[in-house]
Amino acid sequence: LTVRDLAPATVNRRLAGLRAYAAWAKSTGALATDPTAEVQFVDEQRSPPRWLDRQQQVALRRTLDLTLERAELEARLAELEGRPPPPALIWTRRDVALVLFLLNTGLRVAELTHLDLDHVELHPRSGQATVLGKGCKRRTIPLNAEARSALAAWLAVRPESASPALFTGRRGARLGARSVQRIVARCGEGLTPHVLRHTFAKNLVNAGVGLEKAADLLGHSRLDTTRIYTRPGWQDLEEAVEALAA
């Protein structure tokens, strides 16, 4: 289980289930010994989540802007030279929309990849996404202006596809988790979809959003899970110390 990189709590839950099954099998005589007896539970002590601070978020948006500007410039040059538009612009818009969507919604990878076109509503001043989260629980997330703008730019060029998926690949199929992870990783060293989720959560807390609202947006069933984002990050500590010299 640990080789599959599962969370410690998940490993322990499954091990507990195996132990209960082994104990029952032993009591019925189906097993002579308990094969799980020597298997130890995993330490569940959590390392603090990693998120992007404000400067890193500015740098990420700058990277996305520059990437999009280059693709748009190439498309304009192709138009001036009478060449067909390069497909790079289409996929750059998709990638930018995907990253900004994650940054502004905090979706888990599985939640993003299961989104269909009809799960999203876009209006000039509002928008929302209906998400199927853990435990098959549905929640609705409002979409802010940045998420709506990026998503609209992608939908304007999204190729026709038999797939109803919101985000599709070059062959028209639904993007998988690995593809999403690769797209995000190209935008910054060490960047992952979960770092973007942590960043969204930390931004909510820093903006003064209550824990219950933040938990609803993140799809947390327990407030304790959301409460970890109230811990100060390095930038918070730096600002606290600098305030003494002000």
Residues annotated catalytic, as ranges: 108, 134, 194, 197, 220, 229
Residue 126's contacts (CB-CB under 8 Å, 6 or more residues apart) are 142, 143
First to last CA, the chain: 51
Per DSSP bridges, beta strands 120-122 and 127-132 are antiparallel
Which burial class, exposed, middle or buried, applies to 225 when counting CB atoms under 10 A from its CB (0-12, 13-18, 19+)? middle
